[in-house]
Amino acid sequence: MTMFYAAEARRRANSYGPLPVDGSEQGARLRRYRCTIELDAPYTGETTQGTAILIADTVSLARVPIGSVFAFGIINSSVSLGSSTISIGIAGTPAKYRALAVHTAVDTPTLFGLNAPTVAAPLPADEEIILTVAAANMPTSDNRICIDLYFAAP
């Protein structure tokens, strides 16, 4: 039988002997960045602000270090976001990690991520991950969204 290799394992099949495998692809440590957003009183950096998160607002989620590779994310909300659409990414590429879409599932952890080469590459510099709001204001009252971002690091 023929032995085939996944793209990340090809270095082990080198005819001159095995080469090191990229540590961010195989044998990496998965790091979680927990991001909780209080919808009734979002934090502005100085104080808790008792206003809603509005269309075109952004929410800083995490600062991820150079060399990390995005694996996936999980979003869980205590309330339907209704017609409010959100994306997760960086300034200039707001949908780098999650395309602009609604999130209506309540208390249901939902996976997200894009299958694109730019997402699978190690970060060339530290990244400030942001959530961007579009289409409608976010709901208020005593509700929250929890977003977990998972990145592999050697």
Q: Tens digits of per-residue pLDDT, 27-62?
A: 778 999 999 998 877 776 665 666 778 888 899 999
* Residues in Cβ contact with 9 at an 8 Å cutoff, skipping those fewer than 6 apart: 21, 26
What per-residue confidence (pLDDT) applies to 68?
92
What's phi and psi for 120, nearest 5 deg?
-80, -10
What per-residue confidence (pLDDT) applies to 130?
97
pLDDT at position 135 over 70:
yes
Range 110-124 average pLDDT: 82
Prediction pTM value? 0.83
Please give the C-alpha separations between residue 66 and each of 2, 70, 72, 135, 154, in angstroms, as whole numbers: 38, 11, 17, 32, 11
